[in-house]
Structure 1
């Protein structure tokens, strides 16, 4: 029976009704009133929000925008229903926005995008768009609810910070170059100091590579070859050694995130190990190999350095050099860890255990 016929019977147009009919009619009217009340409450709620709020049908047809949308864009009410919304996006962002929105509709996954939205002033302002699907009991999408948030000021600040970061990084790299130059000049005037000066220059160069890796990056400035992870840093630091490209120097295991605090001591440690290996150990031989292993175990990270197929090791060195003390300082104090060296006949083995919290910043950790 159609609703109109049912209501006609209830209100006397269609003859006698039963008590059950009357009860059902009251339930239907109460439900309709409740839905209308919810709709009004939704409109009041969204109009009170500082964000722009919009809603679409299951197929993506836009049929609702709150007051903030019209205040921000300055367009007439209803003019952006359907697909009209895309015309307010910056021309360079329209195709990408349509693509992401189409992917969300097809997959049912949340929608999120940064784009430039035309303000009523005519300026395009950076905006964060998000939307989630509403589903019925059967899991079918019945509607999408979305928001647009003006993030223009934050975006401009981030861009300014990126410019400052690049300029600061450039100046720091120049400082490294100046220091290296001063060491070189001093070595030329004091030939007996050249071996030590060369080692010091190598360490400074390693610090420079660690700085470039660990400095704050934007999506554009971040190196494409690696992410901010331990394997990425090791690849960068050890890239100068041909053994890495030849497959004789391998990095295996887990790949924990790192931050700028840990990049410098890690760079120094592995630079020292690789330098000594190239001079006296496995990397000094044509067939020599080095295997680096990484294992995350709870709140600790185990690092292994194993040399093989190099010169026969006759025993532990009788003297401890500056590099050895530097490694001990970096592992023990800066990374809150421990280091063990085993001078095996077939090659040096180094076992290190460091604090995972010292490798990266932990959310909610005390500052």
Structure 2
């Protein structure tokens, strides 16, 4: 294509097609009469009937989101004092639908032509929605980090008081934090903005999977609980609970023996979930003289405070049985 042929393509009709293809809407603002002349694309964008070639600012204001209306009016009035290009983003309402519009032009009275200023409208709804999504994600990440730091601080305090050496504290604290990490890896957002959840059975199985490898045979740990979701906060709590129970079992109970077994079963009745932890095949169990260690106190506190439930022990000689009763509604949070 020759240079002459290329130039011939840049006629008014070709430019119009290019503008429409790009989704650009044209406007001309009469600064004296406060009226806008707009092209067909702009009328469609605003959802305004094209009875006339011009509409007043007040006509358009009726479609601007109430929270943005005064800001847009002030911004347009200020454009005459702006040297160079400007951009104003705001929301418009088309029935129940909300769109984001970007008005762009060149400011400064020096750019006026016959008391008119020129510019374009762009539909930037997609970009704004993406920005809002990023802001929500950043806020969610900040919230989760703060929660995890608070939990880590609490665990550090508890572990420091329940251990006697630095090496022992480092080992137990690392194991507890690792359990939290496994729980949070499992919790994922659900589609359709339904929140975040993991299945209770999956959560328990993953938390206890490291102990499965320590036995003499596969299948020493069996999990059979109701199919129900566990939210992010509850997942953190459950991770601490099951890690504490597993640690005690590894030290003194069924998981300390190669042939020891562990069964976790559960039932759901109304709003109450009962989870039973049953150990068998380990050393002979005796009722402890006092169950007021820091780990036990932590379990009671978080189960009652965060899950609205209770914990009880049956010190059977064949193996300890622990019953957890929690509110189903609390598990979903």
Structure 1 match to 2:172: 199
Comparing 280-289 and 164-173, the one that deviates more: 164-173
| Alpha carbons 2:200, 2:229 under 8 Å: kept | yes
| Alpha carbons 1:288, 1:308 under 8 Å: kept | yes
Give the one of 270, 291, 303 matched to 1:331: 303
Specify every segment of 5 or more residues in structure 2 that has no aligned partner in the other structure, as ranges: 1-42, 46-120
Bigger proportion of residues as strand = 2
- Report deviation, 1:358: 1.4
Structure 1 match to 2:133: 158
Structure 1 match to 2:239: 267
Specify every segment of 5 or more residues in structure 1 that has no aligned partner in the other structure, as ranges: 1-69, 73-120, 127-151, 220-225, 362-367
Report matched runs for 1:1-367 at 5 Å: 71=44, 153-154=128-129, 156-162=131-137, 165-166=140-141, 192-214=165-187, 217=189, 228-243=198-213, 246-313=218-285, 315-320=286-291, 321-361=293-333
TM-score (normalised: structure 1)? 0.47
Give per-residue Cα distances to partners, 1:279-329, cap 9 Å, x unaligned: 11111111111111121110100111011112222x111232211111111
Cα distance in 2 for partners of 1:360, 1:341 equals 25
Cα distance in 1 for partners of 2:282, 2:210 equals 19
| Alpha carbons 1:229, 1:257 under 8 Å: kept | yes
Q: May I ask how many residue pairs the two structures share in their alignment? A: 214
- Report deviation, 1:125: 6.9
**SS at structure 2 position matched to 1:228:** strand
Cα distance in 1 for partners of 2:151, 2:270 equals 37
Higher relative contact order (CA 8 A, sep 6+): 2
- Report deviation, 1:228: 1.6
**CA-atom RMSD in angstroms:** 4.3
Gap change, CA 1:232 and 1:159, over 3 Å in 2: farther
- Report deviation, 1:153: 4.5
Gap change, CA 1:228 and 1:310, over 3 Å in 2: same
Give per-residue Cα distances to partners, 1:197-253, cap 9 Å, x unaligned: 432332233234334444x6376xxxxxx9622223223322322359932111103
**SS at structure 2 position matched to 1:241:** helix
